[in-house]
Structure 1
Amino acid sequence: MRAALWMLPAVLLLLITYFVPLLDVLTTSVTEPRPGLNNYAGLLTDTGAQRIILTTLRISLTATLIAVGLGYLVAYAMVTGSPRRRVVMFACVMVPFWISILVRTFAWILLLRTEGIVNNGLITLHLIDDPLDMLYSETGVLIGTVHYMVPIAAMTLYGQMEGIDQRLITAARGLGAGPVFAFRTVFLPLSLPGIAAASVLIFIGGIGYFIVPALLGGGKTLMLAEYIGLLITTTVNWGLGTALATVLVAIVLMLLFAVSRLVDIRRAFGST
């Protein structure tokens, strides 16, 4: 009972700052411009909204696969490396968190533009003849999203990998297993909860991403969060905007529920 009283302020704060606004969004989605489920029915026939949802899911899924793959390599190198290399790599992973996302996104604008370093470098190496159209496109949004998500994936996986007993790998090697076979049959299965946790974090972050698509997409590649903002602030279509926001929240909750049923959440995030 005493522990519940200590938790009461946190629960009240969560209700005020999260559940009340969420309930207001849900209420607006079924009352504007008139009561009913017309806004949700409209989503089934609105080809523009459906296209944006598919674009969001495609970019988020692709970014998840790439970011988790790169993050796994970084986390594995940190876990298996020497203490000195681990400190250096840890610092390299953490530095991006100290830089504003706006600064990083504007840096990508300079890098990916037609006269940017990336295109000039590829032309200099004779890999391409004409500059690639990477800025204000789905490619640019994907690159910016992956860049932001890789450190999150790496730290999530590192926290879980650190709890894996390295003596199991040593035992497998002692029994005659090669390094690849020991990794594939021992380490990789034990790291699957971390992969699941990192994948869910990155995918959820991707479908709700706003700043990177808005800047690197340039209005040509719209994602769900940016489209919701346009519906509410520009076209003042509160009904459809809040309906899409509700759908976004529902997708996130379903993903979290699915993962909680498939893996132990505490194990996935490195807890015991």
Structure 2
Amino acid sequence: MNSGAYRWFPIPALLLLVLAYLVPLSQVLMISVTDPELGLGNYALLVTSPSIARVLATTARICVITATAALVLGYVVAYCMTQARPAVRRLMLVGVLLPLWVSVLARSFAWVTLLRREGVVNSVLMGAGLIQSPLPLMWNEFGVSVGMIHTMLPYAILPMASHMRGLDPALMAAARGMGASRAQAFRRVFLPLSLPGVIGAGVLVLIFSLGFYVTPVLLGGGRVRMVAEYISLQIQELLQWGTGTMLATALIAAIGLLLFLLSRAVGLRALSGAR
């Protein structure tokens, strides 16, 4: 086959990308600046609307809490995975991947069963005499954060574990050989070298968290509104297409910015653990 023919192989994929992705995005952008009238009035709501400002603040706060908790918990798990024996490492990997095989809807309903007023957690605490009345564990930011952290943990663990496995174990051995304690070798050698994986995992968790819909709806009970739910409310119930598409465009722009910062801060080879 003529070598020049290979140039045409990506064309169908590019056409599919344009039709399935770029065309709908351009329509969303057009609606955001033409409905209800031509101009940037919808985007002005980002700084003038108290309700939108409250939704954006709630979204940012929950996303930061989710990313922080997922990184701290995920780092411990990822470190233990890299230090464990191969058989134990495989079992831990299955445990990390297992939640991904269950739908987000099912996992959110499971947390509803655990956190509701008559749920497992309150029943156990009241049965043990630790509390006198049920704790408000859901229909608030705490419940939403717990559900999102649980969902995001695999996305934090896997990139960090992948990067940690790419680190040369001889560096830790050399630090120990030069008189550093295990804690000093970890703090001054392993931790700095693992930071690219932490940054990459943090950005990945933030990107996924920004567009969360099912978990905030179920565990927030309409009292905790994040941007994805607010977009759905504007378009499906209030028929404010201009406001909804404006928020969707702003969300896409925020995700694009995070991806750009990730590409500048951490290369893909460093993130994946490649040398």
Q: Same fold (TM over 0.5)?
A: yes
The alpha-carbon deviation at position 204 of structure 1 amounts to 0.8
Structure 1 regions of 5+ residues with no counterpart? none
Corresponding residue of 1:12 = 15
> Contact 1:68–1:198 at 8 Å: present in 2 too?
yes
The alpha-carbon deviation at position 174 of structure 1 amounts to 1.2
Letter in 2 for 1:149: M
Q: Secondary structure at the match of 2:34?
A: coil
Alpha-carbon deviations, 1:122-154, whole Å to 9, x = none? 223333222111121111100000000001111
Corresponding residue of 2:98 = 95
Matches of 1:192 and 1:143 in 2, distance apart?
25
Matches of 2:247 and 2:183 in 1, distance apart?
46
With normalisation by structure 2, the TM-score equals 0.95
The alpha-carbon deviation at position 12 of structure 1 amounts to 2.1
Letter in 2 for 1:131: P
> Contact 2:140–2:219 at 8 Å: present in 1 too?
yes
Corresponding residue of 2:187 = 184
> Contact 2:59–2:210 at 8 Å: present in 1 too?
yes
Corresponding residue of 1:140 = 143
Letter in 2 for 1:60: C
Corresponding residue of 2:262 = 259
Over 3 Å counting, the alpha-carbon distance change for 1:154 and 1:6 in structure 2 is same
Alpha-carbon deviations, 1:166-225, whole Å to 9, x = none? 111111111111111111111111111110110011011111101101111111100000
Matches of 1:209 and 1:270 in 2, distance apart?
28
Among 133, 151, 155, the residue aligned to 1:152 = 155
Alpha-carbon deviations, 1:248-270, whole Å to 9, x = none? 11111111111212222321133
Are positions 1:104 and 2:107 aligned together?
A: yes
Among 11, 23, 43, the residue aligned to 2:46 = 43
Matches of 1:172 and 1:5 in 2, distance apart?
53
Q: Secondary structure at the match of 2:9?
A: helix
Matches of 2:83 and 2:13 in 1, distance apart?
39
> Contact 1:39–1:240 at 8 Å: present in 2 too?
yes
> Contact 1:197–1:269 at 8 Å: present in 2 too?
no
Corresponding residue of 1:59 = 62
Are positions 1:169 and 2:169 aligned together?
A: no
Corresponding residue of 1:202 = 205
Matches of 1:32 and 1:223 in 2, distance apart?
23
Runs of 4+ in structure 1 off by over 4 angstroms are: 1-4
With normalisation by structure 1, the TM-score equals 0.96
Matches of 1:89 and 1:174 in 2, distance apart?
30
Matches of 1:179 and 1:218 in 2, distance apart?
47
The alpha-carbon deviation at position 159 of structure 1 amounts to 1.1
> Contact 1:204–1:252 at 8 Å: present in 2 too?
yes
Over 3 Å counting, the alpha-carbon distance change for 1:264 and 1:38 in structure 2 is same
Matches of 1:3 and 1:269 in 2, distance apart?
29
Among 247, 252, 264, the residue aligned to 1:249 = 252
Matches of 1:172 and 1:251 in 2, distance apart?
41
Are positions 1:218 and 2:225 aligned together?
A: no
The alpha-carbon deviation at position 4 of structure 1 amounts to 4.2
State how many pairs are aligned.
272
The alpha-carbon deviation at position 3 of structure 1 amounts to 5.4
